Amino acid sequence: MIEIGVKNERARQALSLILDKFENNSIPQAIALATFPCPNIPSRKWSMLNRLIMLAYGTHDARGFRQWLETGRNVKKGSKAFYILGPRFVDDKEKEPDENGNYPKKLVGFLSIPVFRVEDTDGKEIDYALPKLPQLPLTEVAERWGIAVRATFGNPVWAGAYAPSLERIMLASPEETVFFHELAHTAHKRVNGHLNDEKWKKEIVAELSAAALCYLYGKKPDRTLGSSYRYIRSYAGDAGKDVLSACASVIGDVEKVLDLIVSEQDKAAKTACEEVEQHENEDERHACPCAPARGFENAPDKAQQAYADACKHALRQAEEPQGPDKEVHRAA
Ligand SMILES: [Zn+2]
């Protein structure tokens, strides 16, 4: 039995439910997470390392100078290239040539290849569209922390990524759990002031937090729990631990991450409600126009209730005359 000290009661319940399921082996089957399709662009064939380099430069499409020209686009003046690594092969003259006189090739090292981001080019319109993200719960939290959340093409390497240097989350998947995982990484960085822990720790903190956030804000929390379990098990294995002892060893950080995200979401809900106060037309205020715009209609019941309560509070305050400004609100 793992002691859970998370302050938020709902988060505590979600975590203990998940850990109980892990302990009793009542875990749903792991499913393959959905990912966005990828058009036929050069980086589709790149190595994992090169894709990660591209990610670090915050783009979904990078090509060489000439490759851009061939698509009818020009690299803008003053744009800086970044470099990917390409294998360098030479003829292996220690081996016999084939019947055409061609020697087999051997790898002798890597070349730096300059490529430019699509954002640094202009010209003929690009012949693909970026995937669209669904309305994801907790987007407001990322917004409040100044983190950009962007969709990108699917790839065989990762479903989501967080680039701390750019404060950007890239999602190659529409799944809530992927976004929650990346958001948990950003919260973990805020809690610890860094993200320098061992990889297995960081990943288990993010995935266990994401599983709990699915129960708190997701549409079908159980759907991806099996996948989370498998993910945690693989990183626990790296540390030579079983799932439960690995979870136990990072539970303190998971609690802090959850408390931070839940409290930030509550603040976001409150701010949305306080904006209600600023609407001049009373009918508009009663209709709570910020609600649909901010995706609250999809929030779990409890979040909607909290939102409604905060709205009532804001409206009560608006209705109490507190000076000349407030009088305007009351004029029917
Ligand atoms: Zn991760």
Per-residue pLDDT of the chain (332 residues; tens, 9 = 90+): 677 777 888 899 999 999 999 999 999 999 999 999 999 999 999 988 898 888 888 888 999 999 999 999 999 999 999 999 988 899 999 999 999 999 999 988 889 999 999 999 999 999 899 999 999 999 999 999 999 999 999 988 789 999 888 899 999 999 999 999 999 999 999 999 999 999 999 999 999 999 999 999 999 889 999 999 999 999 999 999 999 999 999 999 999 999 999 999 999 888 877 766 655 444 444 444 344 333 444 444 544 454 445 444 444 433 433 333 322 232 22
- Joined tokens for residue 81: 């290239």
The residues, ordered by sequence, that sit 6+ positions from 313 with a Cβ below 8 Å of its Cβ are 273
| Centroid of ligand 1 to alpha carbon of 182 (angstroms) | 6
| Centroid of ligand 1 to alpha carbon of 311 (angstroms) | 36
* Spans of all domains in the chain: 1-38+128-332, 42-123
| Centroid of ligand 1 to alpha carbon of 20 (angstroms) | 23
Q: What residues pack around ion ligand 1 (CB closer than 5 A)?
A: 203, 206
Burial per residue of 35-69, b for 16 or more beta-carbon CB atoms within 10 angstroms, e otherwise: bbebeebebeebeeebbebbbebbbbbbbbeeebe
Q: How many CB atoms lie within 10 A of CB 301?
A: 7
